[in-house]
A = this chain, B = another copy of it.
Amino acid sequence: MQAEDPTNEINFCQACSVRNRAICADLDDHEIALLNKIGRRRRLAPGETLLWEGDEAVFVANVVSGVLKLSTQKSDGREQILGLAYPSDFLGRPFGEVSPYSVEALSESIVCVFQRSDFERFAEEHGRLEHKLLERTLGELDRTRRWMLLLGRMNAEEKLATLLLEIASRTVLATCENTGWKVPDEFELPMSRQQIADILGLTIETVSRQFTKFREEGLIEMRGRRDVTIRKRDALEMLAA
Contacts and interface: CB of A to CB of B under 8 A. Distances in A.
Question: What copy number does this chain have within its complex?
Answer: 2
Interface stretch (A6-14, A133-141, A221-229): A133-141
Interface stretch (A24-32, A73-81, A184-192, A211-219): A73-81
Interface in A76-134: 78-80, 82-83, 93-96, 100-101, 124, 127, 130-131, 133-134
Contacts of A78: 153
A2 interface: no
A100 to B, nearest CB: 5
A181 B72 CA distance: 29
Interface in A154-181: 154
Interface residues of A, number: 42
A24 B144 CA distance: 26
A201 interface: yes
A152 B95 contact: no
Contact of A142 (B74, B96, B133, B198): B96
Q: Which 6 A-B pairs have the closest CB atoms?
A: A152-B201, A151-B151, A80-B149, A82-B145, A80-B152, A78-B153
Contacts of A139: 96
A152 B200 contact: yes
Given A138-B95, A151-B151, A145 B75 contact: no
A80 B140 CA distance: 18
A52 interface: no
Nearest to A124: B131
A127 to B, nearest CB: 5
A22 interface: no
Given A127-B127, A130-B127, A74 B154 contact: yes
A142 B101 CA distance: 9
